[in-house]
């Protein structure tokens, strides 16, 4: 019994279902049982102080559920846990330490652990599709859903005062990449919201809207049985959603999604100012830098959820390759994560107490997908359901699953309200535009037009752009060049049109950041003036050469 | 009748009560009456597509009302209005045009008007208090209330893992400047929220919290009768809120509020990481650049709401000095703005139709202030009320006043829920930190400590700082200097402590913006390396001079 008397620290990384439910289960057992168990400290590190109930995220987009009701405070689910709301800088499994990024107080913090639970889920793999990082909206956290909702309303507002028909169509085209659960539910709820929201915009009609779902497989919802997927496919198409199968997202920029036909490798351009990406995913970067063995990007663990190479390191949820006990690896869903959490908590305590451990075994209960407009599809205990009844079941099951009674009540009230109140179309502009940001241009895309208002300065990281004055190309420029400083320095319209010749990556700076940097950063004003002077001289020389000298 | 047949455009600036209700009233009358009135176009320019119901903003802080329920979509209140969600760049009353800033499409837009309604309200006067712009949280729009709420939760999260007792106290001290309606309601709801929220934080107790209300007058709520203000004063003090009378906000920085005793001009420092400012206010900047005559910062208009010097320019609400018809100027409250809106709409239509115009006359209905914890004070029809009954009245009156039935229902449901559900303590990190931002240091304030994580680079705009290594001041530096590049370039801890000697203004750059600029901005890397090299040489020279040469 001596071992158990020593102070043991269990550190859990990740504020999703895997991490929070492991913490909850540990606290429940520690609080319940003997006194000396209080010598176990449970620390949870999460980027947020709440857990997001992802199945309801699409309903935040449509406004059927209030924003804050799809999240639940971790402190209330796992009372007594020591919570750090911090980024994780490094996992050091050799020295058994975790390094946390600084918060408001600018000190890094190093946590020692006896047992480590890694439940970091996965993230959008930005590197694989050019422009994805810069211009696609991910769809995983509450922040994503809020941004998407506000972005969609902004598109309607812009379209309502837009005089250019092409631009208007791009503003009213909404593209979702990924035809799995998340993509299908997202586009279904977006359609539901848009159809109701346009009623408040007298000069936008339902038929002006274009919604496109891009899926790389030959059908949507590959996770579900084919008859249900077909039902969903027909329903979405009937509502006017275009479903583009066998196409993969190839490139994204601010005003378009480029998709590739998997059969003939041909590219197709979709003019769209909204691109939501639910694929592809990859493990959290901090895992990739550990010596832990991975399999298809997921940490290899035994059916006791422990790393074979590093005892004391446990992993579960979407980031772990957990044998399901049914001959396959557990799919990355909440129902598996929650059950793994119970086993993980039990096995850690069993290890501390030298007791026998349990093996994870779970066959799954069923699968549900909401299709908006009070329709859903479900596979439960081998039976399949579709339509209104499946939708009621979907609601009942998810409300039941929500952590905390107060959230259950709140979501239930939201749904009641949704029956008789109109949808909210307010656009919350609480998101500051990034002052320094990366941008991607597709070949042929115009960065700005001659005469446009000069609101950003650009540095070319890679690629090639052409500069056009009065309809004539006057220069081509590329890597390392500065674009657009003239309008910012002179506070006037753009003196030329700039268009990408090849796919081009840029870093841009907002005009207010530019003003501050020019004013206060030593050397920046000189460097900028020099570039500006050279450019003016070059323009004059070109004009003289063309016999168009003004003097 | 010919005049009325010409296409007339009425442009309304401002999305508050004055602007939106004028638009609503115009649309109602235009839609109702004759056909040719459709030749009148009503354009509304607002920064948001919704109106904020400010009296309920404090309840967003406490979580008693859902965020989105205190706002209402303008399109639903004024159906048919042409809405531009844009910043206003310039009002040109000579050429009768309004210039709008670009939106997603980078084109400025110029609107011509026949009649102009200016209802831009007022804004926080940043220039008068050093550090106010940089570090105080304003409290006027929904965005402000959301930021404040998340900030308050962040302070609790940080305090729960803070090991330094002084820092912990600063994190748990919440200061509000301004003892009028807005300040009193804000601190009352903040107290209500904090008292309930700390229950979820095992190592923070109610007695650790410090709430301070700073008021420059000799009592709070000067707008209300003295007996009601005294009641409010006693109630807030009983709840543990410190009320500092006869003190004015003098300076704000990230970790303190400095207040000045009005009697003896002595300064007092309040260590506080939260400073909410409701005072002082000034008119919108765009008004200050017009030739319109102002009186105490408010546009002078007749009791018909028209500018005497510029016929066709109308103004109302907080930004206008409207004679109340009772011998005083209308106070800046919603009840006056709403009634002015009706007169303004009528008089504009009367002018177009050559009909007689009406004079504004209103004595006010009453005043209400909520004190949190189901207490309020009210002056209605000459009677005064305080306590629970006044609070019930406060709720009934404000729900009744809310624009739109659906909002009334939503807010009512929120209040019902609030009775039996716990308060929400989730912290929404959807607000990106500014990459380039201004900062203010009070004299004696530490910018960073030796060994801290280097997360920002600083440029000294004005003031003086000292650099301390191992407890010894090694240098003093000021305007034009760069601070903190060493830690960012070398990706290591701060090599020195930097402290302000005088009040100091800085511009700071986040490390990720720094990395991108160093990488892509021509000249920036060279300039930075030069500064860095000089600094290293100087340090070495100093070490040699001090006989501490390392080689």
Question: What pLDDT, in 10s, does the model give residues B482-513?
Answer: 888 888 887 778 989 999 999 999 988 888 88
Cross-chain CB nearest to B524 (options A512, A520, A523): A523
Read off the pLDDT band of B258 (50, 70, 90): very high
- pLDDT of A275 higher than 90: yes
Report the run of H or E that residue B91 belongs to, with start and end.
strand B88-92
Name the most confidently modeled range: A301-310, A362-371, B324-333. A301-310
Contact residues, chain B, for A20 at CB < 8 Å = none
Name residues whose C-beta falls within 8 Å of residue A525's C-beta, 6 or more positions apart in sequence: A518, A519
pLDDT tens track for A116-167: 999 999 888 888 899 999 999 999 888 888 889 889 999 999 999 898 999 9
At B551 the pLDDT is: 39
Q: Once rounded to an integer, what is the mean pLDDT over residues B326-333?
A: 90
CA distance A339 to chain B (A): 25
Retrieve residue A74's tokens: 């971790």
Say whether pLDDT at A550 is over 70: no
Percent over 70 (pLDDT), chain A: 93
pLDDT score of A551: 39
- CB-based contact (8 Å) between B525 and chain A? no
Whole-number Å distance between alpha carbons of B115 and B11:
6
Taking the CA of residue B285 as centre, how many other CA atoms within 13 Å lie in the half-sphere pointing to its CB?
A: 8
pLDDT average, residue stretch A102-108: 75
B4, pLDDT greater than 50 = no
Q: What is the dihedral of CA A331, A336, A340, A342, to 10 degrees?
A: 180
A525 sits in which H/E element: helix A524-545
pLDDT at A240 over 90: yes
How close is the nearest chain A Cα to the Cα of B263, in Å? Answer: 36
Q: What tokens does B193 get?
A: 């929220």
DSSP B424: P
**Residue A322 has what pLDDT?**
96
B351 close to B357: Cβ distance less than 8 angstroms: yes
Range with lowest mean pLDDT among A447-456, B28-37, B116-125: B28-37
How many CB atoms are located within 10 Å of the residue B364 CB? 15
Q: Which of residues 355-394 of B touch A (CB under 8 A)?
A: none
Confidence band of B549 (pLDDT split at 50, 70, 90): very low
Torsion on CA atoms A331, A337, A338, A343, rounded to nearest 10: 110
d(CA B185, CA B182): 5
Residue B77 CB contacts under 8 Å (≥ 6 apart), including other chains: B20, B21, B23, B24, B51, B403, B404
Is there a contact between A527 and B523 if contact means CB atoms under 8 Å apart? Answer: yes
Residues A185/A370, Cβ–Cβ less than 8 Å: yes
Whether residue B2 has pLDDT greater than 50: no
B479 vs A: CB within 8 A: no
Residues of B in contact with A200 (CB under 8 A): 73, 75-76, 79
Cβ contact A507–B523 (<8 Å): no
Compare CB distances from A429 to B48, B67, B157 and report the shortest one's residue.
B48
- Look at phi and psi of residue A443 and say left if phi exceeds 0, alpha if psi is from -120 to 50, else beta: beta
Check A429 against B482: CB less than 8 A apart. Answer: no
Asked if residue A137 lies in contact with residue A146, where contact means CB atoms within 8 angstroms, the answer is no
- Which residues have CB under 8 Å from A13's CB, separation 6+? A19, A45, A88, A91, A98, A116, A117, A118, A119, A120
Please give the residue that has the higher pLDDT: either A434 or B171: B171
Q: Is A402 on the interface with B (CB under 8 A)?
A: no
Q: Is there a contact between A517 and B517 if contact means CB atoms under 8 Å apart?
A: yes
Nearest CA in chain B to A151: B104
pLDDT at A432 over 80: no
Q: Which CATH superfamily hosts domain B2-47+86-121+284-364?
A: FAD/NAD(P)-binding domain (3.50.50.60)
The C-alpha torsion from A414 through A416 and A418 to A421, rounded to 10°, is -110
**Domain B126-281+367-420, CATH number (from 3.50.50.100, 3.40.47.10, 3.40.50.980, 3.40.50.620):** 3.50.50.100
Domain boundaries, chain B: 2-47+86-121+284-364, 126-281+367-420, 436-545
- Cα dihedral: B95, B86, B297, B143 (round 10): 180
Is-same-fold flag (A2-47+86-121+284-364; A126-279+367-420)?
yes
Determine the topology of domain A126-279+367-420 in CATH.
FAD/NAD(P)-binding domain (3.50.50)
**What pLDDT score does A95 carry?**
96
> Whose CA is closest to A195, among A205, A182, A185?
A205
- Residue B167: per-residue pLDDT: 93
The answer to whether B482 contacts A522, with C-beta atoms less than 8 Å apart, is yes
Chain A residues inside the 8 Å CB shell of B45: none
At residue B397, the pLDDT reads: 81
* B143 at A interface, C-beta within 8 A: yes
pLDDT band for position B1 (50/70/90)?
very low
Residue A34 predicted with pLDDT over 60: no
Higher local confidence (pLDDT), A423 or B442:
B442
* Residue B430: pLDDT band with limits 50, 70, 90: low
Where residue A549 falls among pLDDT bands split at 50, 70, 90? very low
| Amino acid A433: pLDDT | 67
Q: Which two tokens stand for residue A358?
A: 């349990």
**pLDDT-wise least confident of A15-19, A200-204, B542-546:** B542-546
How high does pLDDT run on average in chain A?
A: 88
Mean pLDDT over residues A269-279, rounded?
A: 95
CB contact under 8 A, B507 and A527: no
User: Considering only alpha carbons, which residue of chain B is nearest residue A153?
Assistant: B49
Report chain B residues whose CB lies below 8 A from the CB of A522: 459, 480, 482, 527, 531
Q: How confident is the model at residue A540 (pLDDT cuts 50, 70, 90)?
A: confident
Question: Region B513-531: what's the mean pLDDT?
Answer: 77
B window 86-105, beta carbon within 8 A of A: 101-105
Give the pLDDT band of residue B461 (cuts 50, 70, 90): confident
**B84 chain-A contacts, CB cut-off 8 A:** 161
Chain A residues whose beta carbon lies within 8 Å of the beta carbon of residue B50: 426-427
* Residue appearing with tokens 């010598």: A39
Residues of chain A positioned with their CB less than 8 A from the CB of B76? 200, 422, 425
- Cβ–Cβ below 8 Å for B432 and A429: no
User: How would residue A226 be classed by pLDDT, with cut points 50, 70 and 90?
Assistant: very high
Mean residue pLDDT of chain B comes to 87
DSSP H helices in A318-386: 334-352
Mean pLDDT of A174-201: 93
Q: What is the dihedral of CA B529, B530, B534, B535, to 10 degrees?
A: -40
Per residue in B345-362, pLDDT tens? 999 999 999 999 999 999
**B 210-239 residues inside an 8 A Cβ radius of A:** none
Q: How confident is the model at residue B285 (pLDDT cuts 50, 70, 90)?
A: confident
Q: Average pLDDT for residues B520-524, to the nearest whole number? A: 69
- How near does any CA of chain B get to the CA of A462, in Å? 10
pLDDT digits (tens, 9 = 90+) for B359-409: 999 988 888 888 988 889 988 877 888 998 888 888 888 877 777 777 777
**Is the separation of the CB atoms in B100 and B114 below 8 Å?**
no
User: B198-213, pLDDT tens digit by residue?
Assistant: 988 989 999 999 999 9
Grade residue A25 by pLDDT with cuts at 50, 70 and 90: very high
Contact A83 B157 (CB under 8 A): yes
Q: Which of B428, B432, B438 is nearest to A434 (CA)?
A: B432
User: Is A154 within 8 Å of chain B by CB?
Assistant: yes
Which class would CATH give A436-545?
mainly beta
**What does the pLDDT read at residue A392?**
85
Confidence of residue A4 (pLDDT cuts 50, 70, 90): very low
Task: Look at A78-92, B151-165, B370-384 and tell me which has the smallest mean pLDDT.
Answer: B370-384
**Chain A nearest C-alpha distance from B299 (Å):** 28
Higher pLDDT, A20 or A71: A20
- Residue A547's pLDDT band (boundaries 50, 70, 90)? low
Percent of chain A with pLDDT strictly greater than 90: 51
- Could B426 and A49 be called an inter-chain contact, meaning their C-beta atoms sit closer than 8 Å? yes
Q: Do A427 and B516 touch (CB under 8 A)?
A: no
What residues of A are in contact with residue B531 (Cβ under 8 Å)? Answer: 522
| pLDDT band at B143; cut points 50, 70, 90 | confident
């Amino acid at each position: 019994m001596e071992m158990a008397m020593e102070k043991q620290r269990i550190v859990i990384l990740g504020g999703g279902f895997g991490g929070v439910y492991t913490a909850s289960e540990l606290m429940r057992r520690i609080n319940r049982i003997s006194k000396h168990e209080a010598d176990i400290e449970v620390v949870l590190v999460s980027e947020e102080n709440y857990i997001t109930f992802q199945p309801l995220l699409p309903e935040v987009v449509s406004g059927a559920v209030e924003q804050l009701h799809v999240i639940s405070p971790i402190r209330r689910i796992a009372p007594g846990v020591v919570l750090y709301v911090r980024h994780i800088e490094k996992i050091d499994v050799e020295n058994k330490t975790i390094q946390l990024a600084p918060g408001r107080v600018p000190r890094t913090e190093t946590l020692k652990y006896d047992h480590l639970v890694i439940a970091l889920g996965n993230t959008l793999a930005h590197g694989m599709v050019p422009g994805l990082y810069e211009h696609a909206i991910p769809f995983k956290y509450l922040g994503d859903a809020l941004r998407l909702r506000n972005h969609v309303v902004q598109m309607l507002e812009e379209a309502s005062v837009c005089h250019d028909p092409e631009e208007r169509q791009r503003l009213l085209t909404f593209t979702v990449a990924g035809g799995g659960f998340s993509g299908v539910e997202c586009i279904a709820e977006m359609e539901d919201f848009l159809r109701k929201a346009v009623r408040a915009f007298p000069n936008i009609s339902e038929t002006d809207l274009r919604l496109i779902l891009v899926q790389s497989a030959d059908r949507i919802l590959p996770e579900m049985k084919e008859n249900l997927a077909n039902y969903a496919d027909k329903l979405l198409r009937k509502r006017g959603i275009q479903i583009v199968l066998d196409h993969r997202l190839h490139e994204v920029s601010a005003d378009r999604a480029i998709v590739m036909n998997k059969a003939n490798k041909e590219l197709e351009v979709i003019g769209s100012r909204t691109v939501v990406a639910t694929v592809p995913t990859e493990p959290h970067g901090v895992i990739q830098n550990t010596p832990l063995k991975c399999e298809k990007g997921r940490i290899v663990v035994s059916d006791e959820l422990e790393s074979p190479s590093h005892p004391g390191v446990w992993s579960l949820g979407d980031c772990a390759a957990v044998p399901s006990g049914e001959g396959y690896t557990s799919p990355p869903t909440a129902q598996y994560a929650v059950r793994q959490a119970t086993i993980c908590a039990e096995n850690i305590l069993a290890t501390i107490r030298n007791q026998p451990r349990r093996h994870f075994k779970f066959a799954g209960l069923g699968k549900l997908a909401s299709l908006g407009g009070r329709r859903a599809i479900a596979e439960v205990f081998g039976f399949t359901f579709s339509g209104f009844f499946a939708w009621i079941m979907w609601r009942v099951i998810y409300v039941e699953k929500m952590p905390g009674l107060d959230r259950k009540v709140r979501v239930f009230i939201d749904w009641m309200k949704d029956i008789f109140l109109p949808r909210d179309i307010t656009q919350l502009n609480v998101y500051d535009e990034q002052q320094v940001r990366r941008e991607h241009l597709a070949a042929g895309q115009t960065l700005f037009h001659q005469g446009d208002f000069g609101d950003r300065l650009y540095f070319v990281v890679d690629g090639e752009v052409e500069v056009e004055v009065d309809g004539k190309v006057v220069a081509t420029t590329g890597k390392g060049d500065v674009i657009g400083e003239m309008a910012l320095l002179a506070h006037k319209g753009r003196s030329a049109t700039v268009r990408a010749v090849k796919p081009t990556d840029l870093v841009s700076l907002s005009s207010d950041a530019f003003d501050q940097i020019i004013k206060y950063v030593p050397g920046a004003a000189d460097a900028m003036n020099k570039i500006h002077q050279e450019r003016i001289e070059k323009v004059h020389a070109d004009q003289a050469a063309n016999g168009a000298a003004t003097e």
